[in-house]
Chains A and B, each alone.
Chain A
């Protein structure tokens, strides 16, 4: 099983500031990594696929980067509506796995 380790567990950022989330994989994923946003009581929403491609309707302030085993999600200018949990997900293997999540909160 491919293990994904997200850091930090919680990131506190002031409105308008940058937030950077990390995801490290136990094996080479090439670019087969996605990021999801989940707000309380809601289903996850796809933000990024292919490590860096924004899904339909996702604001440009969300960007993804990385390949291999090191990936990151950046929110360039944090908005109040970005407060949520964020999960990375690998689909390099047909047996998918998720990271444990990073909580983004307002400082």
Chain B
């Protein structure tokens, strides 16, 4: 079935970098964009960035755009989130999520339609 499986939890020191992976199963990988969302402890959802595996286009939230990269390896149906210069404020659960609309529709309409399939989440703890 359609699912996104994320990599395991990470503990990092301030100033370090982290890579979180999201592997897709059960659908044509390049047909749907992937969004990254994070949730700090006890806080709400924060949209971080988006990538289209179809053409590699990306979008990043202004808050993290200087420190974040979202990339893909289409040969393994995997999307990666890289976050650099970590601080304690980056301690959070990180989720990947699939666009509800496929690229053939989203590129015409200019919207992704929300996210209908979510990964299980990856906990990243930043602590000295």
Q: How far is the CB of A78 from chain B (nearest CB, A)?
A: 22
0/1 interface trace, chain B 105-125, chain A, CB 8 Å (1 if under): 000001111111011110000
Q: A105 vs B57: C-alpha distance in the bound complex, in angstroms?
A: 40
Q: Determine if A95 and B95 form an interchain contact, defined as CB atoms under 8 angstroms apart.
A: no
Interface size, B (range): 20 to 34
Interface size, A (range): 20 to 34
Q: A89 vs B45: C-alpha distance in the bound complex, in angstroms?
A: 9
The chain B residues found within 8 Å of chain A, CB to CB, are: 35, 37, 44-47, 50, 59-62, 95, 97, 100, 110-116, 118-121
Instruction: Report the 5 A-B pairs with minimum CB-CB distance, sorted nearest first.
Output: A34-B114, A43-B118, A96-B47, A98-B45, A49-B114
The chain A residues found within 8 Å of chain B, CB to CB, are: 1, 32, 34, 36, 38, 43-46, 49-50, 55-56, 85, 87, 89, 91-92, 94-101
